[in-house]
A and B are shown apart, each in its own frame.
Chain A
Amino acid sequence: MQFDSFSDFLAMGGYGFYIWLAYGLTYGLLVGLAGYCFWELKAFHQNFRQKLARAQRVKQYQETEHP
């Protein structure tokens, strides 16, 4: 352990701003990227399910008789 207290840890010997800026940007971007990747897959699933349901409805409509 390199630090005596938690506030010591946050201060980082006076360079806290730069270090936490770097770590904040890194993890902000990584979380954003991962979130985007998950969202893409989820959006596809939703879209796909809607398309399937629509195709089903069209088929059902065509199969029933329309006087």
Chain B
Amino acid sequence: MFKWLHPLAKPETLYRFCGHLFPWLMLSALTILLVGNVWGLVFAPQDYQQFDTVRIMYIHVPSALLSMSTYTMMAIAAFIALVWQVKVAQWSVLAIAPIGAVFTAISLLTGMAWGKPMWGTWWEWDARLTSQLILLFLYLGVIALYGAFSDRQTGGKVASLLAVIGVVNVPIIHFSVEWWHTLHQGASIMKFDTPSVHPSMLWPLLISLLGFYLLMLALVCLRLRTAILEHEQHRPWVRATLGGH
């Protein structure tokens, strides 16, 4: 696997690899997302307690799961950047951060739109909601720290450090519904015994989740390409690829 992975540490190879991957990721993401969400909105049944508001689940749960796995991905890249000084890992931290921030914001906003009719409030300072808000601030902190240094390398290092330290929040979010009393319901899919969601709702949910995942990967590919070009613009290969003459 490392034999296959190692060449991707070279910016030029990674740039081309992401370029090949991007159209397929984007196309499959849009198709799968459309199938999953239309299934969830039109064909999936109502919940016996939550009626039609359960349809918010098909965007809320995927975006919330994505916000955490995107953060983990960013933290792994940050760790690689700090320990092995891999340039492209450093750049991917900053390529990933805004995408993760948007997914976190989506999970918070859709949660609010679901909370108002079901819990009677848009927002409550309870464990799950607060720890998710902290995740959003961690993403924004990574972006802001990077921008706060005039030297890009120092900024990248400090931002990576925060990304690695902040990963402690991910298990806190996941277990917050067990550790504290909270309005939020417990886990339904990410647990060790079988999921407690009926197949008629589970399938559109899993398909939507896959669609969100592919969309995240597509956008990361796109931003990573831009980042590679920006950092490498004085190298001959960029001129040869883009210049044409």
Contact = CB atoms under 8 A, between A and B. Distances in A.
Interface SS majority for chain B = helix
A26 B106 contact: yes
Interface string A23-55: 101100110111011101100110011001000
Interface stretch (B71-79, B139-147, B225-233): B225-233
Contacts of B136: none
A29 B102 contact: yes
Interface residues of B, number: 39
B143 to A, nearest CB: 13
B182 interface: no
Interface stretch (B45-53, B126-134, B172-180, B188-196): B45-53
B229 A48 contact: yes
B90 interface: no
A37 B26 CA distance: 13
B215 A30 contact: yes
A37 B117 contact: no
A26 B53 contact: no
Interface stretch (B4-12, B56-64, B81-89, B157-165): B56-64
Given A2-B46, A15-B52, A21-B113, A37 B242 contact: no
A34 B219 CA distance: 7
Given A1-B43, A18-B116, A26-B106, A44 B230 contact: yes
A15 to B, nearest CB: 5
A41 B222 contact: yes
Contacts of B102: 29-30, 32-33
A29 B106 contact: yes
Nearest to B37: A23
Interface of B: 37, 41-46, 51-53, 55-56, 59-60, 63, 98-99, 102, 105-106, 109-110, 113-114, 116-117, 215, 219, 222-223, 225-226, 229-230, 233, 238-239, 242-243
18 contacts: A1-B43, A12-B53, A13-B51, A18-B53, A18-B56, A18-B113, A18-B116, A18-B117, A19-B113, A21-B113, A23-B59, A25-B106, A29-B106, A30-B102, A33-B98, A33-B219, A44-B230, A44-B233
Closest 10 CB pairs of A and B: A22-B113, A12-B52, A13-B52, A22-B110, A22-B56, A41-B226, A33-B102, A21-B113, A37-B222, A26-B59
Interface of A: 1-3, 9, 12-15, 18-19, 21-23, 25-26, 29-30, 32-34, 36-38, 40-41, 44-45, 48-49, 52
